[in-house]
Amino acid sequence: MTNFEHITQVLEQTIDGEPIPTFRSPAFAALIAAASAISASPQDCEKLGRSCCLMLLDRLSASMHGEREIQLLKDSSRPLC
């Protein structure tokens, strides 16, 4: 797994409500190393920023569409189940 993949995976897990690795775990040290490696490269930082924005926009869009569908179902005469 690349540093980029490692960080985006942890970010996705965090957005999903999963805890980040604990301070004393090997996963925490690996995450710090990946973040340090990416921060040394402006291109990698930009790529990570774009990826994070797209990830958040996708989640926001999915949530908004879900809320819209629920409201449409509630407003219509069709049963929810």
pLDDT at 1: 84
Is residue 46 within 8 A of residue 4, CB to CB? The reply is no
Average pLDDT over residues 23-46: 91
> Given pLDDT bands bounded at 50, 70 and 90, which one contains residue 78?
low
- Give me the mean pLDDT over the 53-80 stretch: 84
Give the three-class secondary structure for 21: coil
